[in-house]
Amino acid sequence: MATSNGGKIGDIPTDAMTLNRFVMEEQMKHPGASGSLTLLLSSLCTACKATEAAVRKAGIAQLYGIAGDTNSTGDEQKKLDVLANDLFVNLLKSSYQTCAMVSEENEHMIEVPVAKHGRYIVCFDPLDGSSNIDCLVSIGSIFGIYKREKDGPVSTEDCLLPGNKLVAAGYCVFGTACMMVLSTGNGVNGFTLDPSIGEFILTASNMTIPNKGKIYSTNEGNAQYLDNKLQRYLNDCKFPKEGKPKAARYVGSMVADVHRTICYGGVFMYPANSTAANGKLRLLYECNPMSYIVEQAGGKAVTGRGDERVLDVIPEKLHQRCPIYLGSSEDVDVILSYLNGDE
């Protein structure tokens, strides 16, 4: 009988660590765990795989272009936005583990029928960076999971939780490969989709962000609207008094920009400016999940208002915006020294 060599026969792994297996093994470390979070994460995996499949065949299936409507924050909805949102909503409802959802594409909280109620609230951006869809730039999905804190009828207030109460968060990158990056509060791990078996396989365990990087990432087209302190920081990145300048990299898709920042180090920021007092990115389903992951990877995520962590901001409305600076801890500290120093 043929036997495997180190968990492989030829180039085919026979003992792969799939995402579902990984989550179940994490569950076994907590004897009191009910398995509800495991089931919920499985449904999120399915939603991401289905969205990735739609992205791959969008051109052939004529899914490019505008759907003819706007989302909760006034952005034009693309056809893939609508499709991805429907996939996430329907799969999460049918998981029997959620009681409410918050989506970028829906103005109001999405309440799950009582017969399908679970204990979790999921906030998600089903397709981040959708303005890049038609030109084939990397896009992705973002999600954050909270455990509901009280019983009774679900209300919008139940969803207005700070990021420091997240129990899990993740994002899925649809790029040259499809990767799910996940944290359940015990570090960060990356899983690459193997299309031959339709499973996410662990390929980047215990992901950590470098303490310092050589890249800064922001939309410098808005530089004229930034305050003088931040303009001075950007100028010093390009024209340092000593050493080489930092490299500027900006995709315009938060998933892609943050994923690169975690891998290579540096800083990503979407600050407040004179035309947007709270920046552009939404707190519940963009800033909080990404800040949670970056902190779990050893980095920092702040608002730029003193030393305030993004995860400590208490939301007042579902689609609240929040300024954000995240990335390597030393690079974020440098930005704070500019923002909190004298002119």
Q: pLDDT value at position 174? A: 93
The secondary structure element, H or E, covering residue 158 is none
Question: What is the C-alpha separation between 44 and 50, in angstroms, rounded?
Answer: 10
| Mean predicted confidence (pLDDT) in 90-99 | 96
Name which of 63, 66, 182, 47 is nearest 125 in CA terms.
Answer: 47
At 39, list the tokens.
Answer: 């089931």
Average pLDDT of the chain?
A: 90
DSSP-based three-state secondary structure for 265:
coil
| Mean predicted confidence (pLDDT) in 95-104 | 96
Angle at 300 between CA 290 and CA 209, to 5 degrees: 80
Q: pLDDT value at position 119? A: 94
| Mean predicted confidence (pLDDT) in 7-25 | 79
Please check the confidence at residue 339 and state whether its pLDDT lies above 90.
yes
Higher pLDDT, 82 or 11: 82
Q: pLDDT value at position 66? A: 47
Please check the confidence at residue 40 and state whether its pLDDT lies above 60.
yes
Provide DSSP, 8-26.
Answer: EETTEESS--BHHHHHHHH
* pLDDT tens per residue across span 53-89: 888 876 554 554 444 455 555 555 668 888 899 999 9
Cite the active site residues.
75, 81, 104-105, 125, 127-128, 286
| Mean predicted confidence (pLDDT) in 177-199 | 95
Question: What is the C-alpha separation between 324 and 249, in angstroms, rounded?
Answer: 17
Higher pLDDT, 341 or 183: 183
Question: What is the C-alpha separation between 340 and 186, in angstroms, rounded?
Answer: 32
Q: pLDDT value at position 342? A: 61
Please check the confidence at residue 327 and state whether its pLDDT lies above 90.
yes
Q: pLDDT value at position 27? A: 86
Provide DSSP, 72-113.
Answer: TTSPEEEHHHHHHHHHHHHHHHTTT-EEEEEETT-SS-EEPP
Check if the beta carbon of residue 58 is closer than 8 Å to that of residue 81.
Answer: no
At 146, list the tokens.
Answer: 């909270």
In one letter, which amino acid is 205? S
**Percentage of residues in the chain having pLDDT higher than 70:** 90
Q: pLDDT value at position 80? A: 83
